Structure 1
Amino acid sequence: MIEGFHDKQDLKIFENRLKEKHELFFLIWKVGVNLALRVSDVLKITLNDCNKFLEKKEYWSIDKKTKKRNAVKLNDNTLQAFKRALELRNNSKVSKENLYLFVGQGNRVSNTLSHVSRQAVDKYFKEAVDDENLNISIGTHTMRKTWGRLAYNKGIRLEVIMKRLNHSSQATTLLYLGITDKEIDDVVADLNI
Structure 2
Amino acid sequence: MKNIDVQPIRNKKQLKNFLELLKTSSKHGERNRLLFEIGLNTGLKVSDLVKLKTTDVFDHNSLTIYDKSGRLRNVSLNSVLKMLKQYQAILKEKYKGSKWLFPSSTNLDEYLTEKAYYKITHQCGEYLGKNYIGTNTIRKTFGYHFNMQTKDIVQLMNILNYSSQKKTLQYIGLSEEATRASLKDFKLF
> Is TM-score (shorter-chain normalized) higher than 0.5?
yes
Contact 1:85/1:101 (CA < 8 Å) preserved in 2? no
Contact 1:32/1:38 (CA < 8 Å) preserved in 2? yes
Query: What is residue 132 of structure 1 aligned with on the other side?
Result: 128
**How far apart are the structure 2 equivalents of 1:184 and 1:152?**
11
1:26 matched to 2:26: no
- Which portions of structure 1, spanning 4 or more consecutive aligned residues, are displaced by more than 4 angstroms? none
Q: Which moved more, 1:151-160 or 1:169-178?
A: 169-178
- List aligned pairs for 1:23-172, cutoff 5 A: 23-51=30-58, 54-55=59-60, 57-63=61-67, 65-76=68-79, 78-94=80-96, 96=97, 98-105=98-105, 108-109=106-107, 112-134=108-130, 137-172=132-167
1:12 matched to 2:7: no
Flag structure 1 segments of 5+ consecutive residues without an equivalent: none
Contact 2:104/2:110 (CA < 8 Å) preserved in 1? no
Contact 1:122/1:140 (CA < 8 Å) preserved in 2? yes
Q: Give 1:104 shift.
A: 3.1
Q: Give 1:164 shift.
A: 1.2
TM-score if structure 2 supplies the norm length?
A: 0.84
What one-letter code is carried by the residue in structure 2 that aligns with 1:38? K
Per the alignment, do residues 192 and 92 of structure 1 end up closer, same or farther by CA in structure 2, a change over 3 Å counting?
Answer: closer
**How far apart are the structure 2 equivalents of 1:170 and 1:182?**
14
Instruction: Give the length in aligned residue pairs.
Output: 180
Per the alignment, do residues 166 and 99 of structure 1 end up closer, same or farther by CA in structure 2, a change over 3 Å counting?
Answer: same
Secondary structure at the counterpart of residue 45 of structure 1: coil
Across the aligned residues of Structure 1 and Structure 2, the Cα RMSD in angstroms comes to: 2.3
Flag structure 2 segments of 5+ consecutive residues without an equivalent: none
Q: Give 1:80 shift.
A: 2.4
What one-letter code is carried by the residue in structure 1 that aligns with 2:37? K
User: What's the % identity of the aligned pairs?
Assistant: 25
**How far apart are the structure 1 equivalents of 2:47 and 2:90?**
20
1:183 matched to 2:185: no
Per the alignment, do residues 47 and 185 of structure 1 end up closer, same or farther by CA in structure 2, a change over 3 Å counting?
Answer: closer
**How far apart are the structure 2 equivalents of 1:185 and 1:161?**
19
**How far apart are the structure 1 equivalents of 2:103 and 2:11?**
30
Secondary structure at the counterpart of residue 19 of structure 2: helix
**How far apart are the structure 2 equivalents of 1:50 and 1:192?**
43
